[in-house]
Amino acid sequence: MDATDRKIINAIQSHFPICPQPYHELGRQLHLPHGEVLKRVKALKAAGIIRRIGGNFHSRRLNYTSTLCAARVPKGKIRDFVEVVNSYPGVTHNYLRNHDYNVWFTFIGPSMSYIENALREVSEKTGVQEIYSLPAVRLFKIRVDFEV
């Protein structure tokens, strides 16, 4: 990764252009040919440096609700459990933790009852009984950008 890759990463973390030709706009901002920007972003993604490019939405403003979930999953069932959990479109993050409750994930849905039903389905499909929904009582949103 060179200085140009770093400039691109710094530029797109929180300010990816929302326009018909975003790589043209990034190129204009960074004084680079748009083809070069696109080529470098593809290479950074292929290398696993960029995980995803996408929007972050305020689920509450869209009349959705969200919760953080914690599950106690036996080691031999982790892969299958995560595969089932990730099959639900409202799951946005999924983390393995070094704890008794070893799989944590966030779930967004149109209502808490929708999420609760989905969690029951996950439990039935996987046999994992201990899945806790921990909805936020107070919301803290921080923007995290890492200067590369």
Q: Are residues 82 and 32 in the same domain?
A: no
User: Which of 118-125's residues contact partners 24+ apart within 8 Å by CB, and which partners?
Assistant: 118/88, 118/90, 119/69, 122/81, 122/84, 122/85, 122/88, 125/84
In-domain check, residue 148: no
Domain of 87, CATH number, reads 3.30.70.3460
Same domain, 70 and 97: yes
Residue 16 and residue 78 in one domain = no
* b/e map 1-31, b = 16+ CB within 10 Å: eeeebebbbebbeeebeeeeebbbbbbeebe
Residue 145 is assigned to a structural domain of this protein: no
Question: Is 141 a domain residue?
Answer: no
The answer on 71 and 24 residing in a single domain is: no
For 70, the domain range is 59-134
Residues 119 and 74 in one domain: yes
Q: Are residues 18 and 83 in the same domain?
A: no
Under 8 Å between Cβ of 62 and 123: no
pLDDT tens by residue, the chain, 148 residues: 999 999 999 999 888 999 999 999 999 999 999 999 999 999 999 999 998 888 777 777 888 999 999 999 999 999 999 999 999 999 988 899 999 999 999 999 999 999 999 999 999 999 999 999 999 887 766 666 677 7
Count of domains observed in the chain: 2
